[in-house]
């Protein structure tokens, strides 16, 4: 809008600028189209002009009087709240939990005894180390936090995708997190454990070695949030009507099976799509392909626990399934994306202390510390004691007590009674015998900063984990250690880490030492308890943990001018029938004209849609397009990455020039695009047999 020239004269009583500004708003809204409700201030006052602030003359100063400007800017200035100190980057969804098997014999919790009842849940997945705006695919543990809105209050099962933890005592948590987060002087690296302070800390903390094995395994580079397992980690207690206690560990198992990426693929995913996991979860839910997990439990008595060759209160230990098998008791389905990221995913407040009657805590010292931390952090993060009234945090069952007032109080309690006991008001809430009761455990002992002898074995389960893996997984783990330690500048830290590996597996220590070009192996780190050889625990593997499955996977089909319409249509039909999704990729987003003369639009443009975002690819090209794309780096990269990342590749005659340029070989994973059946089989899994041919692993 052109401002009128300064004249030196006083502005007229109704300045022309006022009329102009109304005109501008009208124009903008005409351009935007649609019928819309009236825009108001937060006080409900209708706004006439949302494009211009109140000025003294069209080119004059802005007036403090402009309450609309001040309200809008002030709100904006306060839009950010502190991000979570850990698990800041997360994605969440609504859904339900349905119990399929009652645990009525061991607990009175309704959520675990009422078969068939669907309880609403809100589930948030997260990385640990990175900030809220960091990428989705670094090597990192994933948080797996579920809020069950039960009839008896909220139950938060705040777990991870790894069943053990780095430390045995909560007092070490701030040190661990300070060590893994970006270094305080230089403010990097973001969302990465591959740096000096992390490895310095863990190499001085032998209890972290079992977790280090899991953290360096393929589990920390998951393919999708839909394909991770979840674990409550600690032992909890289940209590029956009489207060008898049974210990329990909780496990989530993904219906689509456990699936991971290849390290090089994870790195390239960071470049291809910062939001890869968030987008994947969003798109799956939007297309009705609802992610699902089984909830399984391990139940055991105090007497059984006394016979374990480890202490189940030590969160650096798993209970092998051979010792206590899993029982599946229910399923969780995530079927609705949040309406608003901030209101729900950002403001949700999980707390392991939220348990309904019938569930109780064990003495795991890490859990005991967590029971304090979450409420405390939420007071600062959400700004006050009434965060439980935010819709995503409020129970969906009735709740009432005598807590009052405070910042952002949303309730308007009636009456004169805000205390208990009372007799003045009939509807004032009172305690019930059916309420929450703690287990009457007979703990006793001397006060002291002690650690149990039974927590002293730091290496046996680390060894069990490594030796239970399949060969390719062992190789990936060794390479991950070499990668991470090669980023560590301080040699003594590298050496110290290898000294721990010698207590875990001599072969692993040698591979890593060799990968780091350490001339001599350091002495093994001193141990309180030398490692024992335990029976293998096959459940820790990724490879072979689940059956090959095409359902839920994503297939990319590369096409261009003249591609065979029939082959593409057949492939698409077969893949979609098997429950996978298809995206068409072409050099131009507008697509190309296929062999049947019809224009086919692309879902993604080649340069911005590399094959790392797919689980398998098909390349369907005319001979001319094949030859042309054999000279295009993005096309060569599309195919050579699919090959290097052990993915199935279907191709037709015209694609061969491109496959040759990408140096694609022949194996069970390379099939003809005509043969959709063979492609369905090949695309349901990674081609592990291919790996030794194309990668020098540590």
Question: How many Cα neighbours within 13 Å face the side chain of 405?
Answer: 1
Is 511 one of the binding residues for ligand HDE (CB under 6 A)? no
| CA 357 to chain centroid | 29
Is 87 one of the binding residues for ligand HDE (CB under 6 A)? yes
| Token pair 């005991």 in the structure block, residue | 368
**Contact code string over 622-651 relative to ligand HDE, x by CB under 6 A:** ------------------------------
First-residue to last-residue Cα distance in the chain: 66
- Selected from 145, 313, 592, 644, the binder of ligand HDE by CB under 6 A is 145
Is 155 one of the binding residues for ligand HDE (CB under 6 A)? no
Stretches 43-51, 71-79, 82-90, 300-308: which one binds ligand HDE (CB under 6 A)? 82-90
Bond prior to 13 in cis (omega within 30° of 0) = no
Query: Long-range contacts of range 399-402, CB-CB < 8 Å, 24 or more positions apart?
Result: 399/153, 400/429, 401/429, 402/428, 402/429
Is 165 one of the binding residues for ligand HDE (CB under 6 A)? yes
Is 312 one of the binding residues for ligand HDE (CB under 6 A)? no
CA distance 110 to 397: 13
Which lies closer to ligand HDE via its Cβ, residue 125 or residue 679?
A: 125
Cβ-count burial of 271 within 10 angstroms (0-12 exposed, 13-18 middle, 19+ buried)? Answer: exposed
Sheet strand arrangement including 670-672: 604-605, 581-586, 554-558, 616-619, 649-651, 670-672
Least distance between ligand HDE and beta carbon 189 (Å)? 20
Residue 291 tokens, joined: 């992610």
Which lies closer to ligand HDE via its Cβ, residue 349 or residue 575?
A: 349
Is 369 one of the binding residues for ligand HDE (CB under 6 A)? yes
Q: How far is CA 92 from CA 136, 220, 228, in A?
A: 13, 19, 14
Stretches 317-325, 370-378, 551-559, 680-688: which one binds ligand HDE (CB under 6 A)? 370-378
3-state SS class at 418: coil
Least distance between ligand HDE and beta carbon 492 (Å)? 28
Q: What is the DSSP letter of 341?
A: I
Beta-carbon contacts of 100 under 8 Å, excluding residues fewer than 6 positions away, are 115, 116, 328, 329, 330, 331
Is 350 one of the binding residues for ligand HDE (CB under 6 A)? yes
Least distance between ligand HDE and beta carbon 692 (Å)? 35
Which lies closer to ligand HDE via its Cβ, residue 376 or residue 624?
A: 376
Least distance between ligand HDE and beta carbon 134 (Å)? 14
Which lies closer to ligand HDE via its Cβ, residue 102 or residue 373?
A: 373
Is 173 one of the binding residues for ligand HDE (CB under 6 A)? yes
CA distance 293 to 295: 6
Question: So which residues are the catalytic ones?
Answer: 87, 160
Stretches 363-371, 401-409, 583-591, 637-645: which one binds ligand HDE (CB under 6 A)? 363-371
- Selected from 52, 113, 126, 670, the binder of ligand HDE by CB under 6 A is 126
Of 321, 255, 328, which Cα lies nearest the Cα of 103? 328
For Cα atoms 79, 81, 82, give the angle at the middle one, nearest 5 degrees. Answer: 150
Is 208 one of the binding residues for ligand HDE (CB under 6 A)? no
Which lies closer to ligand HDE via its Cβ, residue 386 or residue 687?
A: 386
Least distance between ligand HDE and beta carbon 99 (Å)? 22
CA distance 369 to 353: 10
- Selected from 11, 54, 69, 85, the binder of ligand HDE by CB under 6 A is 85
- Nearest residue to ligand HDE by CB is 143
How many residues line the site for ligand HDE (CB under 6 A)?
26
Which lies closer to ligand HDE via its Cβ, residue 236 or residue 614?
A: 236
3-state SS class at 575: helix
| Token pair 């943990």 in the structure block, residue | 545
Is 366 one of the binding residues for ligand HDE (CB under 6 A)? yes
The answer to the question of whether 381 is labelled as a binding residue is: yes
Is 129 one of the binding residues for ligand HDE (CB under 6 A)? no
Stretches 12-20, 155-163, 274-282, 554-562: which one binds ligand HDE (CB under 6 A)? 155-163
Is 518 one of the binding residues for ligand HDE (CB under 6 A)? no
Stretches 132-140, 158-166, 563-571, 625-633: which one binds ligand HDE (CB under 6 A)? 158-166
Is 591 one of the binding residues for ligand HDE (CB under 6 A)? no
Of 198, 134, 697, 219, which Cα lies nearest the Cα of 485? 198
Main-chain dihedrals φ then ψ at residue 26, nearest 5 degrees: -60, -45
Is 158 one of the binding residues for ligand HDE (CB under 6 A)? yes
- Selected from 95, 130, 159, 626, the binder of ligand HDE by CB under 6 A is 159
Which lies closer to ligand HDE via its Cβ, residue 300 or residue 387?
A: 387
Helices (H), 221-274: 263-272
Is 160 one of the binding residues for ligand HDE (CB under 6 A)? yes
The answer to the question of whether 173 is labelled as a binding residue is: yes
- The secondary structure of 434-475 as a DSSP string is TS------------SS---GGG---SHHHHHHHHHS-HHHHH
CA distance 383 to 462: 41
Stretches 19-27, 347-355, 415-423, 441-449: which one binds ligand HDE (CB under 6 A)? 347-355
For Cα atoms 288, 293, 298, give the angle at the middle one, nearest 5 degrees. Answer: 170
Contact assessment for residue 351 and residue 374, using Cβ atoms and an 8 Å cutoff: yes
- Selected from 89, 370, 458, 541, the binder of ligand HDE by CB under 6 A is 370
CA distance 459 to 129: 25
Least distance between ligand HDE and beta carbon 155 (Å)? 14
Contact assessment for residue 139 and residue 221, using Cβ atoms and an 8 Å cutoff: yes
Least distance between ligand HDE and beta carbon 274 (Å)? 19
Query: Long-range contacts of range 179-186, CB-CB < 8 Å, 24 or more positions apart?
Result: 180/128, 180/129, 181/129
Main-chain dihedrals φ then ψ at residue 93, nearest 5 degrees: -150, 155
Q: What is the dihedral of CA 225, 229, 233, 237, to 10 degrees?
A: 110
The answer to the question of whether 108 is labelled as a binding residue is: no
The answer to the question of whether 446 is labelled as a binding residue is: no
Of 685, 637, 682, which Cα lies nearest the Cα of 663? 637
Is 163 one of the binding residues for ligand HDE (CB under 6 A)? no
The answer to the question of whether 84 is labelled as a binding residue is: yes
Stretches 240-248, 274-282, 348-356, 396-404: which one binds ligand HDE (CB under 6 A)? 348-356
Is 205 one of the binding residues for ligand HDE (CB under 6 A)? no
The answer to the question of whether 553 is labelled as a binding residue is: no
Is 377 one of the binding residues for ligand HDE (CB under 6 A)? yes
Stretches 86-94, 130-138, 439-447, 541-549: which one binds ligand HDE (CB under 6 A)? 86-94
Q: Looking at the chain, how many residues does it have?
A: 698
Bond prior to 542 in cis (omega within 30° of 0) = no
Known binding site: residues? 84, 124, 173, 370, 374, 381
Known binding site for heme: residues? 84, 124, 173, 370, 374, 381
Query: What does the binding site for ligand HDE look like in residue numbers (CB under 6 A)?
Result: 84-87, 90, 124, 126, 143, 145, 158-160, 165, 170, 173, 233, 348-350, 366, 369-370, 373-374, 377-378
């Amino acid at each position: 809008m052109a401002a009128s020239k300064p004249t030196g004269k006083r502005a007229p009583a109704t300045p022309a600028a006022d009329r102009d500004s109304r005109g501008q708003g009208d124009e903008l809204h005409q351009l935007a189209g649609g019928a819309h409700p009236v825009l108001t201030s937060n006080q409900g006052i209708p706004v006439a002009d949302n494009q211009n602030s109140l000025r003294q003359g069209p080119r004059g100063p802005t007036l403090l009087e402009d309450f609309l400007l001040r309200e809008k800017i002030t709100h904006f200035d306060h839009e950010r709240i502190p991000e979570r100190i850990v698990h800041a980057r997360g994605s969440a969804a609504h859904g339900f939990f349905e119990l399929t098997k009652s645990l009525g014999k061991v607990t009175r919790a309704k959520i675990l005894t009422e078969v068939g009842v669907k309880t609403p849940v809100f589930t948030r997945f997260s990385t640990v180390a990175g900030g809220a705006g960091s990428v989705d695919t670094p090597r990192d543990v994933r948080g797996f936090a579920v809020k069950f809105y039960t009839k008896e209050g909220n139950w938060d099962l705040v777990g991870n995708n790894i069943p053990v933890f780095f430390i045995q005592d909560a007092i070490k948590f701030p040190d661990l997190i300070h060590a893994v987060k970006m270094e305080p002087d230089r403010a990097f690296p973001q969302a990465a454990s591959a740096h000096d302070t992390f490895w310095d800390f863990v190499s001085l903390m032998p209890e972290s070695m079992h977790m280090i094995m899991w953290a360096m395994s393929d589990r920390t580079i998951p393919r999708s949030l839909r394909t991770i397992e979840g674990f409550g980690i600690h032992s909890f207690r289940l209590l029956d009507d009489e207060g008898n206690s049974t210990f329990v560990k909780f496990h989530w198992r993904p219906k689509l099976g456990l699936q991971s990426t290849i390290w090089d693929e994870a790195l390239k995913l960071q470049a291809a799509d910062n939001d890869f996991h968030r987008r994947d979860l969003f798109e799956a839910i939007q297309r009705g392909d609802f992610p699902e997990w089984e909830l399984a439990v391990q139940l055991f008595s105090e007497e059984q626990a006394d016979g374990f060759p480890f202490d189940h209160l030590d969160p650096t230990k798993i209970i092998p399934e051979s010792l206590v098998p899993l029982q599946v008791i229910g399923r969780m389905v995530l079927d609705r994306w949040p309406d608003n990221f901030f209101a729900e995913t950002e403001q949700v407040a999980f707390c392991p202390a939220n348990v309904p009657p019938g569930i109780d805590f064990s003495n795991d010292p890490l859990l005991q510390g967590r029971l304090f931390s979450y409420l405390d952090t939420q007071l600062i993060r959400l700004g006050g004691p009434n965060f439980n009234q935010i819709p995503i945090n409020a129970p969906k069952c009735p709740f009432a007590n005598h807590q009052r007032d405070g910042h952002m109080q949303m309730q308007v309690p009636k009456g004169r009674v805000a205390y208990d006991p009372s007799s003045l008001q009939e509807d004032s809430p009172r305690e019930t015998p059916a309420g929450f009761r703690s287990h009457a455990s007979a703990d006793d002992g001397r006060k002291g900063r002690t650690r149990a002898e039974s927590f002293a074995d730091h290496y046996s389960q680390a060894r069990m984990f490594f030796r239970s893996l399949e060969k390719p997984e062992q190789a990936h783990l060794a390479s991950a250690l070499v990668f991470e330690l090669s980023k560590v500048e301080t040699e003594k830290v590298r050496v110290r880490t290898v000294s721990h590996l010698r207590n875990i597996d001599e072969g692993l220590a040698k591979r890593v030492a060799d990968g780091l070009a350490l001339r001599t192996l350091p002495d093994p780190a001193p141990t309180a308890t030398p490692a024992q050889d335990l029976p293998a625990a096959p459940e820790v593997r990724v490879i072979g943990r689940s059956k090959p499955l095409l359902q839920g996977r994503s297939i990319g089909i590369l096409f261009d001018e003249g591609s065979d319409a029939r082959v593409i249509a057949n492939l698409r039909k077969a893949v979609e029938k098997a429950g996978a999704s298809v995206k068409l990729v072409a050099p131009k987003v507008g697509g190309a004209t296929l062999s049947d003369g019809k224009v086919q639009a692309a879902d993604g443009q080649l340069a911005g849609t590399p094959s790392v975002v797919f689980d398998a690819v098909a390349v369907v090209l005319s001979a001319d397009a094949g030859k042309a794309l054999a000279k295009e780096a993005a096309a060569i990269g599309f195919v050579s990455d699919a090959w290097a990342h052990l993915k199935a590749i279907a191709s037709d005659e015209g694609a061969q020039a491109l496959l040759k340029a990408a140096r694609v070989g022949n194996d069970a994973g390379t099939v003809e695009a005509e043969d959709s059946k063979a492609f369905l089989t090949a695309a349901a899994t990674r081609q592990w047999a291919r790996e030794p041919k194309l990668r020098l692993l540590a």
